[in-house]
Amino acid sequence: MAQLKVYDRNMLGGPAPDREGIVFYNIDDEPFRIYGVWREGEYYARIPKTVAESVSEGIGAEYHTTAGGRVRFVTDSPYVAVSVELDGLYTFVGMSKIGTCGMDIYADGEFVSSYRNFVGEAEDRISSLAAMRQDGEHLIEINFPLYCNVKNMYVGIDKNASLKAAPDYTVETPVVFYGSSITHGACSSRPGLTYPARLSRMLDMNFHSLGYGGLCKGEVNMANYIASLNMSAFVLDYDHNAPTPEYLRETHSRFFNIVREKNPDLPILILTCPRYTMNERWSVRRDIIKETYDAAVARGDKNVYILYGSEFFSEIGNEYSVDDTHPTDEGFYYMARAIAPTLRKMLGK
């Protein structure tokens, strides 16, 4: 097939960061603050390798995908560039390359641009620059790729610009999300539009994503790991990944109880699968998840909450998804909007 010529230069990606006077800094150094991921050997990771390998072969292979990773800082530079080394590209039907491997930048909570200029023979580097829309000092947040492995990241600013540490989130102790490919971010067009990222900006809260597409199945080792974390709240959302209703019944309440036993006062939000059209297949699973909630309430649990995914999309119906499963950007907006009031209450905001 012949390659179509692109006439709109904006479709070619952002400019390479070769501007005169630009200075690059390694985000591993101060004053940058990294959230949701950490340096583990050659890559950034969001779960320790030893824990990931103990959970399942799949999680062991995907532990260093960087969904939910962010770097934050304050600068008055008129632009912010990135130079990022990836371990190859990850693409699949339903998401663009920006969605799976690109990045985006926010200034003071407002979207600025995406970083989408993939360079190199294997297109395994991002080299891109975003201009600020307004002069002055800004709180910058750059979202890591959702599905790629990141080896190194450098941020470029004007040599005369200030560079300071970002302030804490209002809720600095993270909200932990555990769930399916939807929690991971499929099929958002860029990383800042997933429902955990949207909630983070809406509520000014730190978060940690443990969503792994197709791989989160309520394993005991994962429950034990999550139970050991310092969290402000926990969102349990792996319905889609349970292969059968019987499997869901066997694992769901067990997972909840492990986390609850070690965290008796932790606010926990249980979600049923986010989809608009319900039939017997999905209503059975919803009822199983409600059993976990009902049992907790019957035991006197005062800090457990439940939201039904079938109620998230009443305004847009089946238009919420790319493929009758994974939300579009609009679908993620409605998810975040539906979850925010309950999560705000859980966080005491």
Spatial strand order in the sheet of 79-86: 22-26, 150-158, 79-86, 125-131, 118-119
What is the overall mean pLDDT for the chain? 93
119, two tokens: 């360079």
Greatest CA separation for the chain: 65
pLDDT (tens digit per residue) in 280-311: 888 999 999 999 999 999 999 999 999 999 99
Residue type, 81: A
**What distances in angstroms separate CA 254 from CA 16, 137, 217, 247, one per listed residue?**
50, 48, 12, 11
Handedness of CA 8, 12, 16, 17 (dihedral sign): positive
Chain centroid to Cα 296, Å, comes to 28
Say if 14-165 and 171-346 have the same CATH topology.
Answer: no
233, two tokens: 């709240």
- Return the number of other C-beta atoms located less than 10 Å from residue 348's C-beta: 9
Strands of the chain, DSSP E: 22-26, 33-35, 38-40, 43-45, 70-75, 79-86, 103-107, 110-115, 118-119, 125-131, 138-143, 150-158, 163-165, 171-179, 205-211, 233-237, 268-271, 304-307
pLDDT band at 128 (very low <50, low <70, confident <90, very high): very high
User: Which residue from 173, 104, 302, 327 is spatially nearest to 237, judged by alpha carbons?
Assistant: 327
* Cα 237 to Cα 240: distance, rounded to the nearest angstrom: 8
Chain centroid to Cα 334, Å, comes to 16
What pLDDT, on a 0 to 100 scale, did the predictor assign at position 11? 42
What pLDDT, on a 0 to 100 scale, did the predictor assign at position 88? 83
DSSP state of 316: T
pLDDT (tens digit per residue) in 32-69: 999 999 999 999 999 999 999 999 999 999 999 999 99
- The size of the chain, in residues, is 349
Ordered by start, the domain boundaries in the chain are 14-165, 171-346
What pLDDT, on a 0 to 100 scale, did the predictor assign at position 14? 55
Considering the entire predicted model, what is its pTM?
0.94
Does the domain at residues 171-346 carry the CATH identifier 3.40.50.300?
A: no
According to DSSP, the β-strands at 171-179 and 233-237 are parallel
User: Which residue from 330, 305, 307 is spatially nearest to 317, judged by alpha carbons?
Assistant: 330
* Cα 331 to Cα 187: distance, rounded to the nearest angstrom: 9
Residue type, 232: S
| Dihedral pair phi/psi, residue 46, rounded to 5° | -120, 5
* Cα 10 to Cα 2: distance, rounded to the nearest angstrom: 21
Determine the Cα angle at 106 with ends 100 and 112, to 5°: 90
* Cα 270 to Cα 238: distance, rounded to the nearest angstrom: 9
pLDDT (tens digit per residue) in 185-201: 999 999 999 999 999 99
What pLDDT, on a 0 to 100 scale, did the predictor assign at position 13? 54
In contact, 210 and 177? CB cutoff 8 Å: yes
Structural class in CATH, domain 14-165:
mainly beta
pLDDT (tens digit per residue) in 200-234: 999 999 999 999 999 999 999 999 999 999 999 99
Alpha helices in 275-349 (DSSP H): 280-298, 329-346
What pLDDT, on a 0 to 100 scale, did the predictor assign at position 91? 80
